[in-house]
Structure 1
Amino acid sequence: MTTNTLQGKALVTGASSGIGATYARQLAAKGLDLVLVARDQARLDTLAQTLAADFGVAVEVVKADLTQAAELQALEQRLLTDSSISVLINNAGMTVEGGYVDADPARVEAMIQLNVLAPTRLSMAAAKAMAARGQGAIVNLASVVALIPEQFAGAYGATKAFVLGLTQSLATELADKGVRVQGVLPGLTRTEIFERSGHDLAALPPEWVMEVEDMVAAAIKGFEMGEGLTLPSLPDMADFAAYDKARLAMGPRLSLSNPAPRYR
């Protein structure tokens, strides 16, 4: 049975800091037990102890690097077999310093593994398990750069466009199977990801940057409102609805038997 309430036990990736840690805290405040996944064992342990003490929830820590095939596969198996996990927050992600042409290919590959392959495999496993049970929720963290990739250098925007497309397709496939799928498209959010990629949020106008607590609270509220896509910064969702309507209106004309007249 589909529900607009996040409940049960949530597995959160990228949970040691930033958006993931904030999701963990806000979900714990709502009474959800947690499985926290990240590479930083010390941070995970500290967060787990704090959340258990503050909210009385059960918190498990899983140290994993999701760019490593074996560790990703182990977490995938956990989602397939652990029926207590009712919510997946696919949050782990990274960006790469600089533009695309001069980027380190190994770093770009790692970003694709973390931003694209990991949420693909984990959401696939969660979808299979949750659909079989007839309930669950999958939340995928994309970004507004999925809609405006020209405004963000490098391949990061392309990875987030993939997450957006995957989320929309998955939501359609699971619509009648009791599983809610939500895509979250934050704008600039104050987290460590920018420091790690060499960007300086302090150099940007403050009105462009949302505090992480506000962003996550808006995302959770969007889920509770039944939104399939949540854009925390967008004042009027009618703007996105108009964009989406125009996109879908092209559908019947995107695949035809003859080239358009302008190509003749």
Structure 2
Amino acid sequence: MTTLPTVLVTGASSGIGATYAARFAARGHDLVLVARDKARLDALAARLREENGVAVEVQQADLTQPADLDAVEARLRDDARIGILINNAGIAQSGSFVQQSADSIERLIALNTTALTRLAAAVAPRFARARTGAIVNIGSVVGFAPEFGMSIYGATKAFVLFLSQGLNLELSPSGIYVQAVLPAATRTEIWGRAGIDVDTLNEVMEVDELVDAALVGFDRRELVTIPPLHVAARWDALDGARQGLLSDVRQAHAADRYRPQA
């Protein structure tokens, strides 16, 4: 009988993370739930144990704090049962670029990019040795939409997409599956924490629908899953245009349009 891998979920106390936890528990996976709010983690863990008969462990951590991040990294490196990492923890940007403080910028980047990258880096060598494992990185469509005006948040999510694409090229030969999930507006607590009333937004996806769609992409082993994108060919065209652009980069000389005029 095959033993299902344990799933470690960050940002697991609510929203997307809690829903991922519930879905994997229903599939029979044991869980490690990571977030700052231990009371909510404990309540979720108790419910999932009772409903699904799986083992659920809780690890309280603020991933912007070095000691807490170190502890989760150690868990990923050392716990051979963990075979799936859901890199979900993140925060949104509140206000325009000129309204950001140094502390808010540092915290946003620390959680959305640094922690996500370090956790993937902590688990990848073990997955590569085992020649199996999955890393799911939660990004956002804002990562390719500077027009939305969330410059720092969008930049962190562009990083998540690029990182996931790069990791796929590096890690897939070792049997590791990498998925980038790119939601649009989803009904979670991230909006309220950023001072935004989610009910003022025109279109918002419910979190259950978002995660269920993302898991369809997971089961299909998609690299990039964009649940709100209704014309899949748009992504194919964008990625094809990117590769076409690279084919026109000839680095030995500047393009003619940049040559000094006589």
Moved more, 140-149 or 249-258: 249-258
Which of 66, 74, 78 is residue 75 of structure 2 equivalent to?
78
Q: Flag as ranges the 4+ runs of structure 1 deviating above 2 A.
A: 252-255
Corresponding residue for residue 148 of structure 1: 145
Matching residue's letter, 1:17:
S
Match of 2:125 among 123, 128, 136: 128
Aligned counterpart, 1:257:
252
Could you say if the C-alpha distance between residues 66 and 50 of structure 1 is closer, same or farther in structure 2, counting changes exceeding 3 Å?
A: same
State how many pairs are aligned: 257
Are positions 1:39 and 2:49 aligned together? no
One of 217, 235, 239 as aligned partner of 1:222: 217
Check conservation: 1:15, 1:21, Cα contact below 8 A.
yes
Shift of 1:201: 1.6
In the alignment, what sits opposite 1:232? 227
What amino acid is the match of 1:221? V
The corresponding residue for 2:243 is 248
The superposition leaves residues 24-51 of structure 1 with CA deviations (integer Å, 9 ceiling, x where unpaired) of: 0111111110000000000000000000
For residues 80 and 255 of structure 1, the distance between their equivalents in structure 2, rounded to whole angstroms, comes to: 41
TM-score of the aligned structures, taking structure 1 as reference length = 0.95
AA matched with 1:219: A
Unmatched segments (≥5 aa) in structure 1: 1-5
CA distance in 2, matches of 1:236, 1:20: 26
Aligned match for 2:176, one of 179, 204, 225: 179
Say if 1:7 and 1:87, in contact at 8 Å, map to a contact too: no
TM-score by length of 2: 0.96
Per the TM alignment, residue 57 of structure 1 is displaced from its structure 2 partner at its CA by 0.6
Match of 1:3 in 2: none
2:242 maps to a residue whose letter is R
Q: Note the alpha carbon deviations across 1:105-160, whole angstroms, 9 max, x for none.
A: 20110010000100110001111110111100000000001111221323000000
Q: Partners in 1 of 2:94 and 2:161 — Cα distance? A: 22
- Tell me the equivalent position of 1:96: 93
State the one-letter code of the partner of 2:97.
Y
Give the structure, 1 or 2, with the largest relative contact order (CA under 8 Å, sep 6 or more): 1
Q: Shift of residue 255 of structure 1?
A: 4.6
Task: Tell me, in whole angstroms, the C-alpha distance in 2 between the residues paired with 1:106 and 1:154.
Answer: 16
Give % identity.
51
Give the AA of the match of 1:163.
V
Moved more, 251-260 or 59-68: 251-260
AA aligned to 1:120 is T
The one-letter code sitting in structure 1 at the alignment partner of 2:76 is L
- Spell out the pairing of 1:52-63 with structure 2 (5 A cutoff): 52-63=49-60
**Aligned counterpart in structure 2 of residue 196 of structure 1, from 176, 186, 193:** 193
The alpha carbon displacement at 1:7 in A equals 4.1
Deviation digits for residues 133-190 of structure 1, max 9, x if unmatched? 1100000000001111221323000000111111000011011111100000001000
Q: Distance in 2 between matches of 1:225 and 1:255?
A: 36
- Distance between the aligned counterparts of 1:49 and 1:115, measured in 2? 28
2:151 and 2:194 map into 1 onto residues whose CA distance is: 12
Question: What is the one-letter code of the residue matched to 2:215?
Answer: I
Determine the C-alpha separation between the residues in 2 that align with 1:47 and 1:254: 51
